[in-house]
């Protein structure tokens, strides 16, 4: 069963501050190591698949990096290997990996600096032989909770279900929740069936369930079932992709492609002390108006168009 964590006391706050200072020191060290020159040689952009979320980011990058060369991997690992062999023979600068496949293959096969994005669960970049920096795939937890709170000001108690290894984000979310006056419960699960089990056994007074993106514990069937279950139970659901709104989710908060591209450019030329994993600055919230009506929510004017970038 997942581990339940709550942050609300002074001890937890001290631990959080210590860990934050440690992260800042490590990030500064890594940023200094990962400094590379991206202006002299063209950048190679590896796109994992022809998904809208990847293509939008790739398009934004090409607009900012006219000399960059884009390589479509089409979700095919063998094609990805071939692209990496080709890149070895070419004179090129850094590699921008969009998506999980591109990130994994670039870390394994590239000898150039790598900036990745749109990967929700990147592998341990510390094991990489080259300088690796990245941009978070999800907006900050606070922003997501702010969007949810904007939609439902009466939101008081939510449960966040995630896979293992999301402790930092969980702490960030806990902090954001406290800031917004929300009591957040974190449940960590090991598999999709455990996620389903946990989702169906949330407390009755929990108003919403927040599913963080983790391919290890999510499956399409479970998502479909748990979202439908929540609708039947009158519970709100915060998800990571607007695609899930069609299955019954209330709200999705994603990164904005241009913001992602801008953060990637910044990671190509990181300033001193910049974090290895750069946070997004903007978020794009999408609302399922029908579900909102069913749940008795009054959609605020900024969100009535269905999409709200902030």
Query: Considering beta carbons, is residue 184 or 218 the nearer one to another protein?
Result: 218
CB-wise, 152 or 254, nearer to another protein? 254
CB of 154 to another protein, least distance (A): 29
Footprint on residues 110-169 left by another protein (CB under 8 A): 118-121
Q: In sequence order, what are the residues at sequence separation of 6 or more whose Cβ sits closer than 8 angstroms to the Cβ of residue 21?
A: none
Q: What's the token pair of residue 231? A: 């609708």
Does residue number 193 form part of the binding site for another protein (CB under 8 A)? yes
SS3 238: strand
Residue 190 in the binding site for another protein (CB under 8 A): yes
CA dihedral of 41, 119, 246, 210, whole degrees rounded to 10: -140
Least Å distance between CB 56 and another protein? 11
| Torsion 278-120-253-205 (CA) sign | negative
Q: Per residue in 116-140, is it b (16+ CB within 10 Å) or e — as a string?
A: bbbbbebeebeeeebbbbbbbbbbb
Using CB under 8 A as the binding rule, whether residue 207 contacts another protein is answered as no
Q: How far is the CB of 22 from another protein (least distance, A)?
A: 28
What angle (nearest 5°) sits at the alpha carbon of residue 233, between those of residues 175 and 205?
45
For 101, phi and psi rounded to 5 degrees? Answer: -60, -45
User: CA 262 to CA 57: how far, in whole Å?
Assistant: 10
Which of these ranges, 108-116, 219-227, 271-279, 285-293, lies near another protein under the rule CB under 8 A? 219-227
Q: For another protein, which residue of 27, 95, 99, 133 counts as binding (CB under 8 A)? A: 99
Of 34 and 47, nearer to another protein (C-beta) is: 47
Residue 281 sits in the site that holds another protein (CB under 8 A): no
String of contacts with another protein for each residue 41-80, x by CB under 8 A: -------xx-x-xx--------------------x-----
Smallest distance from another protein to CB 73, Å = 10
CA trace torsion 171, 174, 175, 176 (10° rounding): 120
Closest to another protein by CB, 172 vs 192, is: 192
If we measure between CA atoms, which residue out of 197, 253, 208, 251 comes closest to residue 233? 208
Q: According to the binding rule CB under 8 A, does residue 216 interact with another protein?
A: yes
Smaller CB separation from another protein, 53 or 68: 53
* 48 or 110: CB nearest another protein: 48
User: Can you say whether the dihedral through the CA atoms of 251, 257, 260, 262 is positive or negative?
Assistant: negative
Residues near another protein (CB under 8 A)? 1-2, 48-49, 51, 53-54, 75, 99-101, 104, 118-121, 189-194, 196-197, 213-216, 218-223, 240-241, 243-244
């Amino acid at each position: 069963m997942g581990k339940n964590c709550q942050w609300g006391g002074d001890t937890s706050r001290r631990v959080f501050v210590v860990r934050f200072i440690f992260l800042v020191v490590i990030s500064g060290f890594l940023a200094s190591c990962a400094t590379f020159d991206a202006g002299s040689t063209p950048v190679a952009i590896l796109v994992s698949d022809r998904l809208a979320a990847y293509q939008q980011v790739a398009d934004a990058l090409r607009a900012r990096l006219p000399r960059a060369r884009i390589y479509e991997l089409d979700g095919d690992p063998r094609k990805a290997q071939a692209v990496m062999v080709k890149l070895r023979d070419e004179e090129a600068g850094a590699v921008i990996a969009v998506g999980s496949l591109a990130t994994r293959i670039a870390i394994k096969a590239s000898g150039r600096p790598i900036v990745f994005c749109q990967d929700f669960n990147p592998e341990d970049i510390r094991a990489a032989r080259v300088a690796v920096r990245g941009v978070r795939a999800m907006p900050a937890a606070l922003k997501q909770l702010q969007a949810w709170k904007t939609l439902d000001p009466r939101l008081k108690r939510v449960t966040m279900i995630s896979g293992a290894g999301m402790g930092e984000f969980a702490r960030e979310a806990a902090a954001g929740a406290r800031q917004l006056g929300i009591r957040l419960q974190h449940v960590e699960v090991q598999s999709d069936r455990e996620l389903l089990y946990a989702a169906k056994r949330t407390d009755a007074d929990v108003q919403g369930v927040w599913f963080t993106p983790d391919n290890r514990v999510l499956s399409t069937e479970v998502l479909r079932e748990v979202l439908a279950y929540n609708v039947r139970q009158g519970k709100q659901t915060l998800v990571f992709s607007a695609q899930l709104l069609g299955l019954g989710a209330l709200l999705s908060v994603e990164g904005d492609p241009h913001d992602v591209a801008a953060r990637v450019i910044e990671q190509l030329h990181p300033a001193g002390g910049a974090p290895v994993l750069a946070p997004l600055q903007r978020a794009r919230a999408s609302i399922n108006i029908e579900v909102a009506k069913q749940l008795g929510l009054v959609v605020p004017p900024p969100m009535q168009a269905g999409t709200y970038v902030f």
